[in-house]
Structure 1
């Protein structure tokens, strides 16, 4: 994207009440962001949904002046910019009707040919929720997905720290410009995330921090990924908004079920009950629903006589050796693991070529 086009795209972003969808419509009609500002009023009025007020707003020189100042900030601070027409603009976000015109980023983000998963939930994560989140990401690690979240307290930062721990890319979507960070307590995690991933936002450095920004930010979290996972949520919360957005984009939504009386399981249970989310009890559920292929190099590995097993794998291997084959629930019960833990271990064993899944959620040793 050349600088003149970036300048005029920024100016379009600055026009009040215009919106990303309308801005993209204007650019497609006129050919470029710069051409929008040079187009005659009467021609723009012919477009449905534009209107006289919006066209009048385009004429104010304040938008270009503001764009020039923001461009200086971008250049001075080495901020990356992805334009909705550019090749480096996230592919799935291109198909969202309200995807941002410009996406600002920092770090080492590479989404090419990557599986993207968004993980969201309450800021008041429980011990059970944190354990499940970490187990889930450990189970998915061999598939090398990019973990997307909002860098907030609770589920968000738990997921992103787990991603860093397992060497996965992780992207934090921010509700403010890249000249600040919220919450400040998470500043200590920034370097680790930027080293293998980074941050996205469509807010300017001059935008005031406002809690309503979180709702706008959530569309990017939902739009980037092929699936959104809600780990824990109360009856109401931002993560449920993200799940609704993901459904509106025709993406898969998963929710972790919990006990009926648990406050932070109410939102997840409601999503499942209303059939707005798949039940998620393990990494294997996600792999199955999304029809992900296991890495071919790993699948080809055959069981060796003296293969190295983790303690959990040894217990399950011994049980399957005695039983021949068994269902997931029985494996979990008899090996004394939570179902999500057993499923995660089974997925790792499958990746090592030690077991194979059978119809009916059965497993057997290879």
Structure 2
């Protein structure tokens, strides 16, 4: 049975001129996707960054027909539609400002596997690069990881195939609709990946792989991974974009050093030279950097919430976010805590009265 809220979530993501940030902002103010569409235009216009055009787009009814078809097709093709407020949504993405508001997933792996590693690199992979990629995957097999890459030619597909060989769950992040594998040559590999891993996209059915979608795909790869390994890369290209996202998200980046003077080595050597990546020489580099030698691989991924005596769970969650991130805007607190705006305002007022936090100009808050 189709959920009316799920249809509304898909419809909200289809609204013209809307982006992931505004979707989350609307949810934080209105409480749910259904409520966004029920909110009168006059009230929508009072929400920051919601102008006349966007308010009119939200009021249009035609997108609900398209959203209903998408949900129907997802049910038919066993595709999970995951909104950012859903429990299944990747926790690693949830705290990122530019994370997708909605994801389309097909497969059997958990998107919150305790250990995740991205392996990326050039499409023009060398024999050395192929050997190193397979060796990295083989060495990681004992650590119960989910391996993430982009299903592209070169390093990506070599990594995916090596994962199948070593029985490691692997997830392919796509820059197009979930119903089509690009490039088509990798369809058989993607089908095998569904048995223990899966494929994931922020795009609904039928979306073609346009050039702007590939960098956006790379942010998901970086955001879902504890660390990104760049095997071979030119001085410019998708692998370096993924590494830049990972650095911006404060995730570990590793690069395999390459032969001086070779184009396929320039990107990795540049990352290492500019301190944008740690040098990768062996799997223990990863193990030590991520403290895998100190933690149990069966520990579930959790967003840590400090124990503040006397505070409610919601209050503790807000305090944990402020401790972690420092000064935060109320909108960002709402997105990351998933507490809608009216309730959050009451929580912040209570915490301020108790002396835990202080309000700052511009609707910002910090711990006292």
Fold conserved between structures, TM > 0.5:
yes
Are the counterparts in 2 of residues 117 and 227 from structure 1 also a CA contact under 8 Å?
A: yes
Q: 1:117 to 1:101 in 2, by over 3 A?
A: same
Helix, strand or coil at the partner of 1:195: coil
| Partner Cα separation in structure 1 for residue 225 and residue 207 of structure 2 | 26
Per the TM alignment, residue 202 of structure 1 is displaced from its structure 2 partner at its CA by: 1.1
**Match for residue 78 of structure 1?**
78
**Match for residue 262 of structure 1?**
262
**Match for residue 18 of structure 1?**
18
**Match for residue 242 of structure 1?**
242
Per the TM alignment, residue 269 of structure 1 is displaced from its structure 2 partner at its CA by: 1.0
**Match for residue 48 of structure 2?**
48
| Partner Cα separation in structure 2 for residue 31 and residue 296 of structure 1 | 37
| Partner Cα separation in structure 2 for residue 48 and residue 64 of structure 1 | 24
| Partner Cα separation in structure 2 for residue 85 and residue 296 of structure 1 | 28
**Match for residue 202 of structure 1?**
202
| Partner Cα separation in structure 2 for residue 127 and residue 227 of structure 1 | 24
Per the TM alignment, residue 291 of structure 1 is displaced from its structure 2 partner at its CA by: 1.5
| Partner Cα separation in structure 1 for residue 48 and residue 270 of structure 2 | 39
2:68 equivalent to 1:68: yes
Moved more, 118-127 or 273-282: 273-282
Structure exhibiting the larger radius of gyration computed from Cα positions: 1
State the superposition RMSD in angstroms. 1.8
**Match for residue 219 of structure 1?**
219
Are the counterparts in 2 of residues 27 and 36 from structure 1 also a CA contact under 8 Å?
A: yes
Normalising by the residue count of structure 2, what TM-score does the alignment of the two structures yield?
0.77
Per the TM alignment, residue 44 of structure 1 is displaced from its structure 2 partner at its CA by: 2.2
**Match for residue 30 of structure 1?**
30
**Deviation string for 1:75-127 (max 9, x for gaps)?**
22111122211111111011111111111111211244420011111011111
**Match for residue 101 of structure 1?**
101
| Partner Cα separation in structure 2 for residue 92 and residue 279 of structure 1 | 24
**Match for residue 289 of structure 2?**
289
> Between Structure 1 and Structure 2, how many residues are aligned?
297
**Deviation string for 1:30-89 (max 9, x for gaps)?**
000010111122322222222222112111112212111212211221111222111111
| Partner Cα separation in structure 2 for residue 52 and residue 253 of structure 1 | 42
Are the counterparts in 2 of residues 143 and 294 from structure 1 also a CA contact under 8 Å?
A: no
Gaps of 5+ in 1: 298-366
Are the counterparts in 1 of residues 82 and 104 from structure 2 also a CA contact under 8 Å?
A: yes
2:165 equivalent to 1:165: yes
**Match for residue 312 of structure 1?**
none
Are the counterparts in 1 of residues 89 and 111 from structure 2 also a CA contact under 8 Å?
A: no
Helix, strand or coil at the partner of 1:133: helix
| Partner Cα separation in structure 1 for residue 217 and residue 209 of structure 2 | 12
Normalising by the residue count of structure 1, what TM-score does the alignment of the two structures yield?
0.78
| Partner Cα separation in structure 2 for residue 67 and residue 12 of structure 1 | 9
Helix, strand or coil at the partner of 1:16: coil
Per the TM alignment, residue 206 of structure 1 is displaced from its structure 2 partner at its CA by: 2.9
Q: 1:2 to 1:84 in 2, by over 3 A?
A: farther
| Partner Cα separation in structure 2 for residue 294 and residue 198 of structure 1 | 29
Per the TM alignment, residue 295 of structure 1 is displaced from its structure 2 partner at its CA by: 7.7
**Deviation string for 1:156-208 (max 9, x for gaps)?**
01111111111111000111112211111111212321111010011111323
**Match for residue 141 of structure 1?**
141
| Partner Cα separation in structure 2 for residue 176 and residue 113 of structure 1 | 24
